[in-house]
Amino acid sequence: MSSSHFIKSFSTSFGQSPHQYLVNLRLASAEKPLVETDLPLSHIAYVSGFSSQSHITATMRRYKLATPGEIRRRKEISPHYYERRQQLSYALCRKHMTECSKHQP
């Protein structure tokens, strides 16, 4: 299958290009811990597949029309906020540590 055929088939099936699909997937995976935790933006960017804090900021500004800081400030605290924040913090830290250990000799 050629790349152009794949892109056309993917776009027909999902209603968006593969690149846009990945951007939306990364934004969705970043938005939840951004709202539900106090983890640094650099960690959230890394585990969500963004190359840097500035990359996630520019992408959110472009597609969400708000910076990560603005999104974080808008959050509404649900009854399960603190419990969920602790669970996500632990999971993201474990994922980050696993990724870092892969890059060490």
CATH number at residue 78: 1.10.10.60
Higher pLDDT: 100 or 61? It is: 61
- Asked if residue 28 is part of any domain, the answer here is yes
- Structural domain harbouring 70: 10-102
Q: What is the pLDDT of residues 23-64, one digit of tens each?
A: 999 999 998 899 888 899 999 999 999 999 999 999 999 988
> Interior CA angle at 66 toward 7 and 10, to 5°?
10
pLDDT of residue 58: 95
Residue 2 in domain: no
Determine the pLDDT at residue 73: 84
42 versus 90: the higher-pLDDT residue is 42
Domain for residue 85, yes or no?
yes
The total number of structural domains in the chain stands at 1
Q: Is residue 27 assigned to a domain?
A: yes
